[in-house]
Structure formats: C-alpha cells, structure tokens
Amino acid sequence: MAITRVPTTPFSDQRPGTSGLRKKVKIFQQPRYVENFIQAIFDNVEGAKGSTLVIGGDGRFFNEEVVQTALKMATANGFGRVLVGQKGLLSTPAVSCVIRKHKAIGGLVLSASHNPGGPDGDFGIKFNMSHGGPAPESFTEAVFKRASAMTEYKIVENPDVDLTRIGGTKIGDTIVEVIDPVADYVELMEKLIDFNAISQLFRSGFRMRFDALNAITGPYARAILESRLGAPAGTVVNGEPKPDFGGHHPDPNPVHAHDLMELMMGRDAPDFGAASDGDGDRNMIVARRLFVTPSDSLAILTSHAHLAPGYAKGLSGVARSMPTSRAADRVAKKLGINFFETPTGWKFFANLLDAGLITICGEESAGTGSNHIREKDGLWAVLLWLNILAVTKKPADQIVREHWATYGRDYYTRHDYEELETAPANELMDNLRARLATLPGQRFGELTVQECDDFAYTDPVDGSVTPKQGIRILFKEDARAVFRLSGTGTSGATLRVYLERFEPNAERHNLPTAEVLAPVIEAANAIAEIEPRTGRDEPSVIT
C-alpha cells in the first residue's frame, strides 16, 4: 500500500502541557493540525517499526475522526499492530491497562479529560509510554521541537476501518485489531478487588448511585457494577458516552455532579454515591450526607487497602501531589511506609511506581490510582471503596468519621479563578515569588506565616529536578495555602488556590468547612492580592 508524504508547515502552539495537547475542538479541526502533532509523536517513538500501538479516546466530539486519521498514520509509520477500542472508545485507565497487558510500545489517548466536550468544547491528544503512563517532559519537549519544524507527515489512503466490529483488519503490513474496550480492564479489576464480597454487599440490599456523566466510564461501570457484581439495573445513570457528554460538564465534583450531590444529601439517599469524569481517570466519592474530599479519600484508601486481595500484603508507600492535603502523610507515618510529595501531573508518580517505592498515589483533583497501571483510575477507586465497605460492614460516613477520629481532620477546599487574562495571572505569581523571603513572621488576620517556598521537586529515582511547581505558604497555626497556575485548561489562565487547616480535636470535626477555613482564605487572598490583581472578588468554582 502506497504511503503518501503530505507537505505541511508547522503550527506554533503545539507544546504539550501536563496532560498532552489540549485545545478547543475548532483548533484541532484546522487542516493538518492533528496530522502534524501525531507525526511529531510518531517521529519520537523509538522502535516503532513492527511494534504494537494502542489507540482510544473518551468518545467526545471529533474522537472518531481523529481515530481514523491516527490509524492511517500508524500504518504509514510502520507500526506492526494497532489495538483500537470498539467505536474508538477506551478510558484512559483502560489504555494504560491494554498497553501493559499486550506489551505495546505506547498509546495515543484522545481526550481532554474533565474538560467540556461538543463542537464548542475541548479536545486533546497525549501519548502514553510502554509502561502505560503519560510521556515524561523529555519526550513531550522533543515532540514540541519536532512539531515546530514539521515539513511533512505520512499517511496511507485507505477506507475508514469499521470500528463497530470487533476483529482484525490488515492495512498494508499493519494489523488493526478492534478490541472490546472493557474486557481487559474487567479482567484486571477481578485480580485486585474482592468481587464476591461486593456481590454479597449488593445482595444484602446495599444501594448505590454511580453517575457516569454521559462520559466514557458508563460502559465499564455497567459491565462491572450491574452485570458482574449484581447491582440493580439503574444503579449506573447517564451511562451512555455522548460526544457532548449529554450537556454535562464531565468534572466529578460537587458543583458539576449536582444531581448526585442532591440525591446523596436527601432524606432517601442511597448508601453510597460515586461519579467519574470524561476519560474515566477521576472519581468522586459521596457518603450518605457527606462529601468525601479526594484528599481524605486517598488517605482512607491508603489505610484500608489491605482489605482488598490485590493489596493484602500491604503497601510499599504512598505519594500525593503537592497541593493535595497532608492527610495521606499521617497515614503513611502510622503505617511506617514511604510517602512522597510530587508536582501535579501523573507522570511524576510513574518513576516511584516503577521503582516499587509506592503502591498508591493520588491528587486533590479527584485522581487516585495504584501500581496496577500508570494512570489514575476512577472506577478502580470506587471499587476499592466498595471492597472496604463490604469487608468492614460499616457505612461510608462512619469510615470517614472514624478516620478523622484516628488521624485528625484536614479541612480542605480549592478555589479556582478560571479564564483569567494570562499576563495578570503570571504577574500575580511573579509578585508572590519575589516576596517569599519577606513573608515569614508576617501576620495576616488570625494567621502568622511560618515558612514559604516555590516548590521544586527532585525525583528520587532519576535525580531530575522540576522547579516552580507552586507556591506554598505554611502558617504557624498548622494551616496551609498553595498557589499555582493550572496547565489543563484551553483558554486563558486558571489560578488554583488550595487551602487547608488541620484540626486534631474530634469535637471540632463536624464544623462547616467554610467556617474553619475562613481565616486561611482571608490570609491567602491578602497575601496574593487576588482581587486587585485579577479583578475577581470571588472564585469561579469552589470544590
């Protein structure tokens, strides 16, 4: 089959962020835009010829078109075998699972994760390496360098592959296999989670609501929760992936998953509530009349993971992203295991997992995972929670309150100031950095700054250094504020402010979060001068 070399010119905006290249759909729809970026990726995959590649996405608008383009380009670039999810679908954790099981050289993940979908929404492309995790910065920088000098891309002229039919098709020297997107993932979950115990839990009358937000996790949740574990039909709602996520914002938090929150806070709430995001790598956990913060969830899973078969021998360690609360650290210290604080971005966990230094890891942005793959995994976290509930025979809210009684409570919230003008946002951060040396000892309202820094991470495995990962302000009153600009949006800049305060006194564990954190919020706003520098007197989203 003839390979066509198509002349092209580079685009200047194809530098990948923390989770690949994310832009508005209309940007990706520009002629040659997708082809240029995919060619830049393929040009940096060593040993591509004859190897196995995985391709799949979350089903958002433009997914199938990009899948077909990627298949034709993979053939032209000499991959020997391409595994693609039926209908072009694969959750991000499933991509990692398939890469690892089938010893693929890597995979293209087509998703903008928790960002909105549809013709006016977002799209994204990232590359996962042979260990199943996101590409490191050395790879993504090489991709950007190649994309910036692109003069041609390679593609074959061939009819589109029938993605509805499972099975193999030969295109030139490449075998394209359309696979069941769920099967390998279910097989892996059965090795880690006690399905029998959870099935018995559902037979006892346990009620659950899982909101898939019309995103990728729907088919996985239905296959496992309803078909394999015996949860009643209807346990999974919004279970059909749709190109615009059915109008939902596919970010599983109390703001966007408001229907689930309203149900779980009501008089006839089910025993347990959960949701996942656009590509299936994030999770939201809601006990009856109690939202479980992702930071608390990570800590609770760390302390109880041994109850599941896959973790019965104990954990080697736990890692959290720097903005995530320190709740997991307290568990690790009590268990006597490793704990690490990393920059935001799942790729920073991969070295720790590969080296066996940690077993579980997580981020405050609702991502939790373990050494079973090299991505965060929303449904896995939900299943591990169900395993814990089935074995302990305790309601979820009791599990949370007992955890606080044992370790103390880290009150926590995040304020997002979205779509800020980029220049003022950068100036705010630059001003903070310039004042770090002068802040210790200063009092802001009820709090006094004890120490502060611009977080830099030295990887304990390979020694690489990653600077400027967020500004940390630690107060003498055991409170903390963290400021960073997010790299996951597609327009303007998003300032994220993370606020926490530790409360050891059990008598103060049931106070409103906003009340406990009010002094921290006041101090953080004053220190960063948020309103005068951004013109915003309140955040866009509070989670």
Q: Which CATH number fits domain 409-542: 3.20.20.140, 3.90.110.10, 1.10.10.10, 3.30.310.50?
A: 3.30.310.50
Report the pLDDT value the prediction gives residue 10, as an integer from 0 to 100.
98
Report the pLDDT value the prediction gives residue 228, as an integer from 0 to 100.
98
Q: Report the Cα–Cα distance between both ends of the chain, in Å, rounded.
A: 53
CATH class entry, domain 185-407 = alpha beta
- The set of long-range contacts for 334-342, using a CB threshold of 8 Å and a minimum separation of 24, is 334/303, 334/407, 335/302, 335/303, 340/460, 341/457, 342/457
% the chain with pLDDT above 90: 95
89 falls in which pLDDT band (50, 70, 90)?
very high
CB 291 within 8 A of CB 174: no
Say yes or no to pLDDT of 421 above 90: yes
Give one word for 183, left, alpha or beta, with left for phi > 0 and alpha for psi -120 to 50: alpha
pLDDT in tens, 459-480: 999 999 999 999 999 999 999 9
Task: Look up residue 17 and give its two tokens.
Answer: 């962020």
Q: Which of 407, 425, 405, 394 is nearest to 489 (CA)?
A: 425
Residue 15, helix vs strand vs coil: coil
Give one word for 526, left, alpha or beta, with left for phi > 0 and alpha for psi -120 to 50: alpha
pLDDT in tens, 14-71: 999 877 999 999 999 999 999 999 999 999 999 999 999 999 999 999 999 999 999 9
Say yes or no to pLDDT of 490 above 70: no
Report the pLDDT value the prediction gives residue 487, as an integer from 0 to 100.
60
pLDDT in tens, 188-246: 999 999 999 999 999 999 999 999 999 999 999 999 999 999 999 999 999 999 999 99
Q: What is the CA radius of gyration of the chain?
A: 23
Question: Which position among 51, 91, 113, 303 bears the catalytic label?
Answer: 113
CA distance 46 to 56: 21
CA distance 337 to 322: 18
CA 492 to centroid of chain Cα atoms: 21
Strands (E), 104-224: 106-110, 122-128, 152-156, 167-171, 174-179, 208-211
1 falls in which pLDDT band (50, 70, 90)?
confident
Q: In what helix (H) or strand (E) does residue 261 lie, and over which residues does it extend? A: helix 258-264
- The reply to whether 409-542 shares the fold of 3-179 is no
Residue 465, helix vs strand vs coil: strand
pLDDT in tens, 178-187: 999 999 999 9
Q: What is the mean pLDDT of the chain?
A: 96
pTM of the model: 0.95
CA distance 108 to 67: 9
CA distance 94 to 186: 9
CATH class entry, domain 3-179 = alpha beta
**To 10 degrees, the CA torsion angle through 134, 139, 144, 148?**
-140
Average pLDDT over residues 107-118: 95
Report the pLDDT value the prediction gives residue 189, as an integer from 0 to 100.
98
Report the pLDDT value the prediction gives residue 345, as an integer from 0 to 100.
86
CA distance 136 to 234: 40
Map out the domains of the chain as residue ranges. 3-179, 185-407, 409-542
Average pLDDT over residues 277-298: 97
Active site residue 303: no
Residue 492 has what DSSP assignment? S
Report the pLDDT value the prediction gives residue 41, as an integer from 0 to 100.
98
Quote the crossing angle between the two packed helices 294-304 and 378-392, to the nearest 10°: 50
Residue 388, helix vs strand vs coil: helix
